[in-house]
Amino acid sequence: SRAQLGFVISCVKNVMEQEGFSRQKRGYRNINDIEVNMSDPLFTKQWYLINTGQADGTPGLDLNVAEAWQLGYTGKGVTIAIMDDGIDYLHPDLASNYNADASYDFSSNDPFPFPRYTDDWFNSHGTRCAGEVSAAANNNICGVGVAYNSKVAGIRMLDQPFMTDIIEASSISHMPQIIDIYSASWGPTDDGKTVDGPRELTLQAMADGVNKGRGGKGSIYVWASGDGGSYDDCNCDGYASSMWTISINSAINDGRTALYDESCSSTLASTFSNGRKRNPEAGVATTDLYGNCTLRHSGTSAAAPEAAGVFALALEANPNLTWRDMQHLSVLTSKRNQLHDEVHQWRRNGVGLEFNHLFGYGVLDAGGMVKMAKEWKTVPERFHCVAGSIQEVHKIQSGNKLVLAITTEACQGKDNFVRYLEHVQTVVTVNASRRGDLNINMTSPMGTKSILLSRRPRDDDSKVGFDKWPFMTTHTWGEDPRGTWVLEVGFQGDEPQRGVLKEWTLMLHGTQSAPYIDQIVRDYQSKLAMSKKEELEEELDEAVERSLKSLLSKNN
Ligand SMILES: *[C@@H]1O[C@H](CO)[C@@H](O)[C@H](O)[C@H]1NC(C)=O
Ligand SMILES: *[C@@H]1O[C@H](CO)[C@@H](O)[C@H](O)[C@H]1NC(C)=O
Ligand SMILES: *[C@@H]1O[C@H](CO)[C@@H](O)[C@H](O)[C@H]1NC(C)=O
Ligand SMILES: *[C@@H]1O[C@H](CO)[C@@H](O)[C@H](O)[C@H]1NC(C)=O
Ligand SMILES: *[C@@H]1O[C@H](CO)[C@@H](O)[C@H](O)[C@H]1NC(C)=O
Ligand SMILES: [Ca+2]
Ligand SMILES: [Ca+2]
Ligand SMILES: [Ca+2]
């Protein structure tokens, strides 16, 4: 309608004296207005850093790193570990930022996480991820990392015949006083039928990481949501859905979902992967094996390291940030921007925060994040409350969904009262004649619905079901949990199914005192103000359009 309006105006100009005015596409930024000048040959192709519409993308749809860089934040003093198939640390665009002391090879137990050679360059993943975070700037080589003055460590741990609990645990607890951020682009098989998560040692290592890492401020674990597409649900991936990880999904360069994106209520925010169009330059430009560069990195694998880079910028702005502060900052400063999910609406939760089932709270905004990080006050102590537990056998049948309710005071009057929510976990034990046809929704007392489990058409398990599986939602962030929570369990699919729910336990995690009431009010008010402003602008446009149309019809 904006393009049409421009057309109408230019027609009118010929008819009568009418002052012309320009309309700019929202979010449009001219690369010449951004004072970032890098000599790196791939820099202008890194649309996820500064999107001016390269490769058929949508201008302005980017991580807004330019603003963070201009404020002076480039990742200095922050170390990010890439837990993957190794890093080509001899690469001229990585060598100067490589932290050898913090690196290790758990696949072959030596201090040198160099990728194993194969003819098809299969083990290029870690090197590509490392470049997204820490590729050096202004050196005429490849592109520029999100946090181009940060240090990157290689943790090689994916390249052995079998994964073991001890390799995972060792990796995520490697040098937790030196490594600030761990980036993981792996997890249980994305085949749409696996339900799996961290085992005992890895769980313990994660708990230790967030409690003791970084001098007690907590290791930051960044996790790719998964590449299983609409057939999978990342709440069935216990790494992505963990409260201790920040789970990151991806958008393509025009704001739509990528075909491999999985949706789930535990995703916190999004970054970018490749374009859907077959434009060879729509991929993620970064470093590649053996000193090469590539334009073709992709997947939610590409998304997680971008987030790790943004978090490095925030940590430089404020090294005091805890692992929870980082999640709060992500919730508050991520933007809907021009992200578009054809399946799930954008909605506002009970405190006005806008979220989407696939993108979480939206795309990370590095500029917004460093500015808020700088002023940030550590969030108050976290409490855990078992809001209620139903441990009776309830039958579920196709066409007759089970609806259960837990009414809770959220431990009010006790030491562990939770008044302001962070994460909510719903622990469920359920079996079904076809697990993949199960779907579970939960609605909070403030009316926010989370889809805890979507249909997974490929999952035909009829034996195991979910055994005390913790489904997690981030959608109720900031809400008051007191009141009635409603769980709906049903079947979707072609064949009639039956099942039995044996347990629903509702766990609330959050603070007693208002975490950042000033920030949240300010944020909500500015969002409101902005949406009003846009409404006003739209009204104005419509009024202009109407009067011009009527003028035109009179003159014809
Ligand atoms: C960017 O840097 C290049 C090489 O140093 C220089 O030729 C060019 O004029 C610079 N452009 C701007 C806009 O500063
Ligand atoms: C990678 O780099 C090497 C050496 O610089 C070069 O010979 C080779 O052609 C490059 N390969 C690709 C696929 O770009
Ligand atoms: C970090 O914490 C220290 C000690 O509490 C404090 O002196 C310093 O101002 C804090 N820095 C920021 C950026 O908040
Ligand atoms: C589910 O569990 C109930 C009770 O333990 C059992 O009777 C039923 O056969 C199970 N159903 C399936 C599909 O496993
Ligand atoms: C859960 O919500 C989805 C999306 O609104 C809906 O399609 C589905 O029928 C709901 N399932 C249950 C069991 O209520
Ligand atoms: Ca090695
Ligand atoms: Ca470079
Ligand atoms: Ca998955």
Confidence of residue 539 (pLDDT cuts 50, 70, 90): low
pLDDT of residue 34: 63
Ligand nearest to the CA of 90: 2
For the record, the structure tokens of 281 come out as 């330059």
Separation of 62 CA from ligand 2 center, angstroms?
29
Q: Is the pLDDT of residue 10 over 80?
A: no
pLDDT of residue 532: 61
Residue closest by Cα to atom 8 of ligand 2: 292
> Nearest Cα to 437, choosing from 188, 187, 192?
192
Out of 2-11, 270-279, 294-303, least confident range: 2-11
Check residue 75 and report its DSSP letter. Answer: -
pLDDT of residue 130: 98
What CA–CA distance (Å, rounded) separates 238 from 342? Answer: 26
- Are 310 and 366 within 8 A, CB to CB? yes
CATH number of 383-513: 2.60.120.260
Q: Is the pLDDT of residue 9 over 80?
A: no
Mean confidence (pLDDT) of the chain: 89
What CA–CA distance (Å, rounded) separates 271 from 145? Answer: 14
CA-to-CA dists, residue 269 to 48, 96, 310, 373, 418, angstroms: 15, 30, 12, 17, 24
Superfamily of domain 39-374, CATH level 4: Peptidase S8/S53 domain (3.40.50.200)
Separation of 396 CA from ligand 4 center, angstroms?
11
What CA–CA distance (Å, rounded) separates 71 from 314? Answer: 11
Ligand 4 within 6 A of CB of 446 = no
pLDDT of residue 276: 74
pLDDT of residue 479: 96
What CA–CA distance (Å, rounded) separates 99 from 284? Answer: 24
Residues lining ligand 2, CB < 6 A? 290-292
Residue closest by Cα to atom 1 of ligand 5: 441
Q: What's the average model confidence in pLDDT over 429-452?
A: 98
pLDDT of residue 556: 35
Separation of 31 CA from ligand 1 center, angstroms?
13
Q: What's the average model confidence in pLDDT over 31-37?
A: 67
Residue closest by Cα to atom 7 of ligand 3: 320
What CA–CA distance (Å, rounded) separates 264 from 225? Answer: 9
Between residues 4 and 57, which one has the greater pLDDT? Answer: 57
Ligand 3 within 6 A of CB of 318 = yes
Q: What's the average model confidence in pLDDT over 202-213?
A: 98
Q: Is the pLDDT of residue 269 over 70?
A: yes
Q: Is the pLDDT of residue 299 over 90?
A: no
323-333 vs 366-375: helix crossing angle, rounded to 10: 130
> Any residues with CB less than 8 A from the CB of 530 and at least 6 apart, and which?
none
Residue closest by Cα to atom 6 of ligand 1: 37
Residue closest by Cα to atom 5 of ligand 4: 500
Residues lining ligand 5, CB < 6 A? 401, 439, 441, 451, 488-490
Separation of 320 CA from ligand 3 center, angstroms?
6
Q: Is the pLDDT of residue 29 over 70?
A: no
Name the phi and psi angles at 489, rounded to 5. -120, 125
Ligand 3 within 6 A of CB of 320 = yes
Q: What's the average model confidence in pLDDT over 270-284?
A: 86
pLDDT tens string 86-104:
999 999 999 999 999 999 9
Instruction: Select from 292, 293, 295, 297 the residue to mutate for testing ligand 2; criterion: most ligand atoms less than 8 Å from CB.
Output: 292
Ligand nearest to the CA of 238: 8
Q: What's the average model confidence in pLDDT over 29-53?
A: 84
Residue closest by Cα to atom 8 of ligand 1: 37
Q: What's the average model confidence in pLDDT over 440-464?
A: 98
pLDDT of residue 307: 98
Ligand 4 within 6 A of CB of 443 = no
Residues lining ligand 1, CB < 6 A? 37, 39
Separation of 439 CA from ligand 5 center, angstroms?
7
The sign one gets for the Cα dihedral 217, 218, 222, 225 is negative
Ligand 4 within 6 A of CB of 500 = yes
Q: Over pLDDT 90: what percentage of the chain?
A: 81
Confidence of residue 281 (pLDDT cuts 50, 70, 90): confident
pLDDT of residue 316: 98
pLDDT tens string 485-515:
999 999 999 999 999 999 999 999 999 988 8
pLDDT of residue 514: 83
Which residues carry out catalysis?
A: 84, 125, 301
* DSSP sequence for 328-368: HHHHHH-B-TT-B-SSS-EEE-TTS-EEETTTBT-B--HHH
What CA–CA distance (Å, rounded) separates 286 from 303? Answer: 12
pTM tops 0.75, yes or no: yes
Separation of 283 CA from ligand 2 center, angstroms?
19
Q: What's the average model confidence in pLDDT over 41-59?
A: 94
Q: Over pLDDT 70: what percentage of the chain?
A: 86
pLDDT tens string 155-174:
999 999 999 999 999 999 99
